[in-house]
Amino acid sequence: MKIKANNCDMINVLVIQWMNKKDLAPLREYIKNKDTKIRLVNFDEVYSVKYDYQRRFLRYWSQLKRFNLKKLGIYFNFIINSYIKKNYSYSFDNVRKLAIMGLSFKDYNKIIKNNNIRAIMIYRDDPWLNNIILFSKRIGIKVIILNNEHVFGESETTIKVVKSLPCRGDLILVGGESGKKYWSHSIGINKEKIKIVGVSRFDAYQSKGYMSRSEFCNILGLDQKKKIVFFPSFINQYDLYVYGLTKSSLTMTYKPEDLDFCWPIKETINVNMEKYKEDKMKLLFDIAKENKNIQIIIKLHPDQQANEEHCVKHELMAMNRVLPNFVGIPGIPNRITAPDIIINSDVIVGHGSTMLLEAIIANKTILPTQWDLPNNEFRLPIIERKTCEDVTGKDMFKKKLFKILRDGEDVKRFEKGRKELIEYYFGKQDGQSCERIVKEIEKEFSNAKD
Q: Write out pLDDT tens, residues 66-111.
A: 555 655 665 565 555 555 544 433 344 555 566 676 678 888 999 9
Would residue 85 count as lying in a domain? no
User: What pairs with residue 231 in β-bridges?
Assistant: 298
Same domain, 383 and 417: yes
In angstroms, what CA-CA distances link 69 with 72, 170, 175, 375? 5, 43, 45, 32
Same domain, 298 and 383: yes
Same domain, 336 and 402: yes
Comparing C-alpha atoms, which of 269, 270, 252 is closest to residue 261?
A: 252
What is the number of structural domains in the chain?
Answer: 2
What is residue 345's predicted lDDT score, i.e. its pLDDT? 97
User: What pairs with residue 229 in β-bridges?
Assistant: 296, 347
What is the side-by-side order of every strand in the sheet holding 294-299? 326-329, 294-299, 227-232, 347-350, 365-368
Residue 141 is which amino acid? I
What is residue 417's predicted lDDT score, i.e. its pLDDT? 95
In angstroms, what CA-CA distances link 53 with 57, 58, 90, 253, 328? 6, 9, 13, 22, 34
In angstroms, what CA-CA distances link 141 with 119, 136, 144, 188, 387? 5, 5, 10, 18, 43
Q: What is the pTM of this model?
A: 0.84
The strand ranges marked E within 215-360 are: 227-232, 237-243, 265-272, 294-299, 326-329, 347-350
What is residue 267's predicted lDDT score, i.e. its pLDDT? 86
Would residue 62 count as lying in a domain? no
Q: How far apart are CA 359 and CA 229, in angstroms?
A: 12
Q: What pLDDT digit, counting tens, does each position of 255-303 carry?
A: 554 544 456 778 888 888 999 999 999 999 999 999 999 999 999 887 7
Same domain, 176 and 215: no
Would residue 172 count as lying in a domain? yes
The strand ranges marked E within 23-85 are: 38-42
In angstroms, what CA-CA distances link 368 with 297, 315, 412, 448? 16, 19, 18, 47
Would residue 111 count as lying in a domain? yes
Same domain, 435 and 306: no
User: What pairs with residue 238 in β-bridges?
Assistant: 271
Comparing C-alpha atoms, which of 331, 368, 98, 373 is closest to residue 235?
A: 331
Counting every residue written for the chain, the total comes to: 450
Report the relative pairing of strands 294-299 and 365-368 from DSSP bridges. Answer: unpaired
In angstroms, what CA-CA distances link 350 with 147, 159, 234, 289, 290? 23, 24, 10, 19, 20
Report the relative pairing of strands 237-243 and 265-272 from DSSP bridges. Answer: antiparallel
Same domain, 230 and 149: no
Same domain, 419 and 443: no
Same domain, 407 and 443: no
Same domain, 387 and 439: no
Would residue 406 count as lying in a domain? yes
Would residue 335 count as lying in a domain? yes
Same domain, 161 and 227: no
What is residue 260's predicted lDDT score, i.e. its pLDDT? 47
What is residue 308's predicted lDDT score, i.e. its pLDDT? 64
Contact status, residue 184 vs residue 309, Cβ threshold 8 Å: no
Would residue 389 count as lying in a domain? yes
What does the DSSP 8-state code read for residue 170? Answer: S
Comparing C-alpha atoms, which of 441, 35, 359, 435 is closest to residue 199?
A: 435
At CA 387, angle to CA 385 and CA 390, rounded to 5?
90
Q: 433-449 vs 21-33: helix axis angle to the nearest 10?
A: 70
Would residue 371 count as lying in a domain? yes
Same domain, 331 and 444: no
- Residue 155 belongs to domain with CATH number: 3.40.50.2000
Q: For the chain, which residues score pLDDT lower than 70?
A: 1-8, 17-21, 49-99, 101-102, 152-153, 246-249, 252-263, 305-310, 332, 449-450
At CA 337, angle to CA 221 and CA 210, rounded to 5?
85
What is residue 98's predicted lDDT score, i.e. its pLDDT? 61
Same domain, 113 and 151: yes
Q: How far apart are CA 153 and CA 426, in angstroms?
A: 12
Q: How far apart are CA 289 and CA 438, in angstroms?
A: 48
Domain that holds residue 109: 11-47+103-199+430-449
